[in-house]
Amino acid sequence: MAKIIRFISLEMENFTAHHRLSLEYGDVTKLSGRNGQGKTSIGTAPAWVLWGVDLFGRKWSPKPVNYDANVTRAALILEVDGTAIKFERGIDGGDNMFLINDVPTKAKEYESTVAGLFDRDEFLSLYNPQYFFGLHWTKQREMILRYTTPPAKSEVLKQLPSPQADKLADLTKKHSLDDLQKIHGGTGGQKSKLEKAHIAAQSRTKTLQEQIDRLPPLNGGSPIDPETTKRDIGIIDAKIEEAIASMSGADENNRKIIALQSKVASLRDKRDRMKEQFAALQAEPIADTCRVCRQPLQGESVTAAEADKQRRIADFKREYDAVVVQRKEAEAELAALEYIDVSETMAAVRKLQEDRQYLVDLLQESERRQQLAEFLEDARIEEAATHASLKESIFILDSAKAYRAKEAELQAAKVQALFTTLSIRLFKYVKSTDEWEPDFSIQMDGKDYAVLSAGEKIAAGLELAEVLFKQSELVVPCFIDGIESYTGRVAVYDQLVTGRAVLDQELKIETEEAA
């Protein structure tokens, strides 16, 4: 239901060029006269009374500049849905005055009361057709979209290609579109991480392939069968074991011959030494003194010394004969043995061991190459999986961008449908980010507002005010200053105040009531 604001009366005292002025508003209030007669001041007074600003929302002082005055004031009686309320603002010396229904009020209470009735930007955009175009584009955009319902998700998805629509329909069950873009986009998003992971996977695949390509041909280029090679190694192991077993008796035999040869040589040396010792023993004279006490021997003592020498000779001969027997036995045993030559068998074993090592090396190299091939295959699988995930992340981001673009297109079309001659832009394409970002601009017949003529600006403001009314259902008086430059149709929903410049005419105020 529309909220209707009507102006009832206005009083001004020492307000710009007006010493005292009172007027009663009609359905149409016409202000005319030559320049400098205060038409614009009368139109600005309601804005100043309510907010202390001019027609464009700028801080403004209406104190006279061509004469001195202690008090500057203006009082506006207006109706809000049929209920009258009087607002008065004044400057007394250097102090501000605020009155509501003739009751002095503090500034904050005054401002709060006005704010409770209507939004300033909305009110002034409807009251002054040029006000809206002086706002920052973000505020303009917010006001246009304030009452415009964005297109439904189903409506946007319906306009997208099936793969994108199906993907977003599924993903947005769990995450919002903003969340999806955060998850996959940006420096810390999935796309960035997967791009790095894919580069790393490509590098690993390339490195492994280069390692394999640099390997020389294995086994002269002939393929090998690991199982056959293992079997051949087992056969060689058996032959080596058999050869070593065949040499075990020879080793024992040859060790025995060497031991006997050493024993014979040692016994011969001992025999030769004993021969020399025996000759010395035989030549040994009979001692005439005791070997122990060194007393001269006499009679039986000499006989005993002779008997001792013979006994020692007999003992020595027995020992010598034993050495001779031992030597002869060792020589006989040695003569019965024959040295067994195992050099050919050892050479054969070494050859078998070399053959075995070649096969072992061949098998290990084959297994290493097989491992490298498996690593390469794993790397290719990982690269493909990473690439698939990256494509999926890119597809989700592209789908989200497509959704945003289509949403912007539908929303822009929805808003544009509200206008007849004005062209509205709500979004702009940013090439660096490949995205559509919020924006706002208005054109009439392909021209920006700034270059429109005075009449075209009035026409643009009236069309915009009509759209804002349909959205907000707020009805306020409309003030068109410089209406003489506008030749189009004036259609307002309630009160109209106009200012017209007339050559050589004093200020004239005329009111009309609706027929």
Give per-residue pLDDT as tens, 227-247: 999 999 999 999 999 888 887
Picking from 26, 24, 29, the residue whose alpha carbon sits closest to that of residue 11 is 24
Contact status, residue 62 vs residue 15, Cβ threshold 8 Å: yes
What's the confidence (pLDDT) of residue 185? Answer: 85
| β-bridge partners, 429 | 436
Picking from 80, 30, 38, the residue whose alpha carbon sits closest to that of residue 475 is 80
d(CA 239, CA 245): 10
What's the confidence (pLDDT) of residue 515? Answer: 61
What's the confidence (pLDDT) of residue 250? Answer: 80
d(CA 297, CA 68): 177
129, HSE (Cβ side, Cα atoms, 13 Å)? 28
pLDDT average, residue stretch 471-495: 88
pLDDT average, residue stretch 444-463: 91
Extract the tokens encoding 292. Answer: 């122990």
Contact status, residue 238 vs residue 356, Cβ threshold 8 Å: no
Instruction: Report the 10 Å Cβ neighbour count for 358.
Output: 13
Which residue shows structure tokens 């309601």?
46
Extract the tokens encoding 480. Answer: 């068109």
Is the predicted pLDDT of residue 351 greater than 90, yes or no?
Answer: yes
pLDDT-derived band of residue 60, with 50, 70 and 90 as boundaries?
A: very high
Q: Say if strands 478-481 and 103-104 run parallel, antiparallel, or are unpaired.
A: unpaired
Which residue shows structure tokens 């509200």?
418
Mean pLDDT of the chain: 90
Extract the tokens encoding 457. Answer: 């600006």
State phi, psi for 93 to the nearest 5 degrees: 70, -115
What's the confidence (pLDDT) of residue 227? Answer: 92
What's the confidence (pLDDT) of residue 76? Answer: 98
Contact status, residue 394 vs residue 169, Cβ threshold 8 Å: no
The pTM assigned to this predicted structure is: 0.64
Q: What is the dihedral of CA 107, 110, 116, 119, to 10 degrees?
A: -70
Is the predicted pLDDT of residue 434 greater than 80, yes or no?
Answer: no
Contact status, residue 181 vs residue 384, Cβ threshold 8 Å: no
Instruction: Report the 10 Å Cβ neighbour count for 38.
Output: 19
Is the predicted pLDDT of residue 427 greater than 90, yes or no?
Answer: no
Q: Which helix (H) or strand (E) holds 515?
A: none
Contact status, residue 183 vs residue 190, Cβ threshold 8 Å: yes
Contact status, residue 256 vs residue 337, Cβ threshold 8 Å: yes
Give per-residue pLDDT as tens, 172-190: 999 999 899 899 987 888 9
Query: Burial level of 476, CB count in 10 A (0-12/13-18/19+)?
Result: buried
Extract the tokens encoding 271. Answer: 């025999």
pLDDT-derived band of residue 52, with 50, 70 and 90 as boundaries?
A: very high
d(CA 89, CA 108): 13
Give per-residue pLDDT as tens, 360-385: 998 999 899 899 999 999 999 999 99
What's the confidence (pLDDT) of residue 495? Answer: 92
Is the predicted pLDDT of residue 441 greater than 80, yes or no?
Answer: yes
**Vertex 100, ends 99 and 103: CA angle to 5°?**
65
What's the confidence (pLDDT) of residue 494? Answer: 86
Q: What is the DSSP letter of 509?
A: E
User: What is the DSSP secondary-structure string of 107-146?
Assistant: HHHHHHHHHHH--HHHHHHHHSTTTGGGS-HHHHHHHHHT
Is the predicted pLDDT of residue 292 greater than 70, yes or no?
Answer: no
- What end-to-end distance do the CA atoms of the chain give, in Å? 24
